Amino acid sequence: MPRQVFAFDPPSRFVAGTVGQPGDRTFYLQASGGGRTTSVALEKVQVQVLAERLEELLETVRRTTEADIPVVAPRELEDTAPLDAPVEEEFRVGALGLAWDGDTVRVVIEALAQPEDEEQAAVEPLSDAEEGPDVLRVVLTAELARAFVKRAQRVVAAGRPPCPLCALPLDPEGHICPRQNGHRR
């Protein structure tokens, strides 16, 4: 079966967000544009790594090319609104791809679905293969990419606070702390 490509070039909105309470949140990437919205689920660490790598990519491009890459996102591009409802998961992300297109001076982000078999697992991110896992492909300006990074960092940091003794996440009712010999903190 041919894979489904959810392409947004450019999106009217591309954000990371969550559904649920800290400690029990589901993380999503959500792209909107052209009267449609696509949401894909992923792990917190995937959001964190995507934001870090995107920031590194933008810094490398800024230092090594003539491209006009902003150091920070323009304030008017900050997006603090919740995810567009209803949040309907198209797929769970298995791999992420990130690239700089020097011809269009844009960032390309791809989120590939978890592969169903070995044949699908062989498809690389940022490939135009007709067969393979479904993919969300978003093309962003550097300004929109910086705004995405800022929001993603906020979303990741909004989780449970760390225990001051062991740095594990604290639940509202506390947690069993290894530094307290298994006693509740």
Averaged confidence pLDDT in the chain = 90
Fold of the CATH domain 5-160: Secreted effector protein pipB2 fold (3.30.2450)
Under the banding of pLDDT at 50, 70 and 90, the label for residue 1 is low
Mean pLDDT on 156-180 = 80
The pLDDT of residue 33: 96
Q: Which residue has the higher pLDDT, 149 or 119?
A: 149
Report the predicted TM-score, pTM, of the whole model to 2 decimal places. Answer: 0.86
DSSP H helical ranges for the chain: 44-64, 118-121, 142-157
Q: Can you tell me the mean pLDDT for 128-134? A: 86
- Residue 174: is its pLDDT beyond 80? no
The pLDDT confidence band at residue 170, using thresholds 50, 70 and 90, is confident
Sheet containing strand 89-101, strands side by side = 5-8, 135-140, 106-113, 89-101, 36-42, 26-33, 13-19
E-strand spans in 34-181? 36-42, 89-101, 106-113, 135-140
> 88 by DSSP, 3-state: which?
coil
Q: Which of 84, 93, 98, 86 is nearest to 135 (CA)?
A: 93
Encode burial over 122-152: b for 16+ CB neighbours within 10 A, e otherwise.
ebebeeeeeebbbbbbbbbbbbbbbbbbbbb
Given this model, what pLDDT does residue 182 score? 65
